[in-house]
Structure 1
């Protein structure tokens, strides 16, 4: 099983071997479409998620209070989503 967590950024590299797995997952619907277009049909969509039973809510530190947090790499094309 292969799990790709950085699609679509890594798609050009991963598509070369994604079809070699019995099952492959991607966190990107855009990349899922691209895998299909390349004839790679073993890929499933697996969105990011968290099981809340493993987390205990805490009051945030005032320095880190925000409405939106970007987890991972910030790309300029994603900035408009944050400020709209």
Structure 2
């Protein structure tokens, strides 16, 4: 068993790429939570409740935020050789 021990730390670029990929995987879960949040608000029938206009504005703004976050994350995730070769072939 003369296998060399693997390094304790990975390269900074590799670590950064993995954390960006983890963030991109978490984004749909975070977005679902944001979309479900208006269900906890008061209904318009109750005193001081939130109206339909405010809820729809909130949902639209969350949607725009998620699109922007996904666009930024997709540009920051480094492309691997396997992804690059698949894109070039097909």
Task: Mark yes or no: TM-score above 0.5.
Answer: no
Q: Please tell me whether Structure 1 or Structure 2 has the larger radius of gyration of its CA atoms.
A: 2
Could you tell me the TM-score, scaled by structure 1's length?
0.26
Say which structure is richer in helix: 2
State the TM-score, normalized to the length of structure 2.
0.25
The one of the two structures with greater contact order (alpha-carbon pairs below 8 A, sep at least 6) is: 2
Query: Which of the pair is proportionally richer in strand?
Result: 1
